Structure 1
Amino acid sequence: MRLYVPATRNDLDTVTTTTARATWPIGPRVAHAVTPALRAELPDEDDEGLEYAAWLAAADDSLGLVLQGASSPLRVVVTVEVPDGVVGTAVESGDDVSSSTVQVTDDVDAQVVCAHVDETDAGPDVLRVGQVAEADLDDALQAVVDRDLLWYDWTELDQAPR
């Protein structure tokens, strides 16, 4: 199953890369995927649009991880393939939980497809979200959302910004 995993830059340091593949040991955690609930929420989207929606939700969750004190102020989304058996329904629920949210239920060596990482100069915008008053939060969030995350193939993870 393809997952979009919100992560931090330090998480990429735990990826093991060989000439044939990259694996990332992950344990129970929140991730995003194309779920039946997401398909129901976006019935007119094709598979690519649904994958993009799940990826965007993972990028939003990555922002939350960074604001919890990650050593690098860059959002990271790691796209992985895992066995279906290690993915369950989301533990969290409520209005703030995306319909793409799933739970990795067991430890697994996930096969890394690629990672998306903020460009280095996005760091100040990302950090600003955690520093502004509520009245300025929408503008700070928009500055982050307007930033593109850069794509890195699994063979290029060592080139991702820190």
Structure 2
Amino acid sequence: MTTRVFVPLTRGDLQVLARDGVLPLPAGGVRAAHASTSALQASWPDGDEEEWEYAALLTAAQESLELVAAAGEDAASARRRVAVLDVAATVASPDPEAPETGVGLPEPLRLDDVDAWHVDDDEAVATVAAAVTAIRQGAGDDDLIVRLEACLDHDLGWYAPQELDQLL
């Protein structure tokens, strides 16, 4: 049995995957990801698998904003980036404060395992840039929430695994 996971990434992560075919595990030995977990399903019992997976995708997309801000990417061209893949095993989230969708990947991310990419299109760049800037500036809670929620107004584009070069 496999689990569909959504992995938040940065442009630098995509560059490593394109160059090396594999993204090593971070220092903690587990990569943060999101999935339709039993905790999510228990908190949203009238949802279905498609809705739970969409919630996991959106959570991963929003988490990618924090990664982009921390990585120092140019805010003017920042985008939310998420890899989608099915994995045989996940572990408990590496962050005990993670959302209900939080899981950890105990293996490096391999380009060959990616089923799809979800990435913002050009129309979302200004909104994403505002959110990244707010994160970097340590904006007040209300302003940050407004900027993060504005990103949810933009749907992520779907790209096939072989379209990675177009996303760099």
TM-score range, shorter chain: 0.7 to 0.9
CA contact (8 A) 1:117 1:149 kept: yes
Task: Calculate the aligned-residue CA RMSD, in Å.
Answer: 2.2
In 2, Cα distance between equivalents of 1:106 and 1:121 = 34
Compare the two structures and name the one with the higher helix fraction.
2
Does residue 120 of structure 1 match 2:125?
Answer: no
Which amino acid counterpart does residue 89 of structure 1 have in structure 2? A
Extract unaligned runs of 5+ from structure 1. Answer: 18-22
**Aligned mate of 1:80, from 85, 96, 102:** 85
Compare the two structures and name the one with the higher strand fraction.
1
Q: Which residue of 2 aligns with 1:93?
A: 96
Give the CA deviation at 1:2: 1.6
For normalisation by structure 2, the TM-score amounts to 0.78
CA contact (8 A) 1:3 1:31 kept: yes
Going from structure 1 to structure 2, the CA distance change for 1:88 and 1:12 (only over 3 Å counts) comes to: same
Give the CA deviation at 1:37: 0.9
Going from structure 1 to structure 2, the CA distance change for 1:25 and 1:68 (only over 3 Å counts) comes to: closer
Kindly tell me the number of residue pairs found equivalent between the two proteins. 152
Does residue 69 of structure 1 match 2:74?
Answer: no
Deviations 1:63-97 (A, max 9, x none): 1111113425111011012222xx20012123xx2
Structure 1, 127-136 or 115-124: larger mean CA deviation: 127-136
1:58 is paired with a residue of what secondary structure?
helix
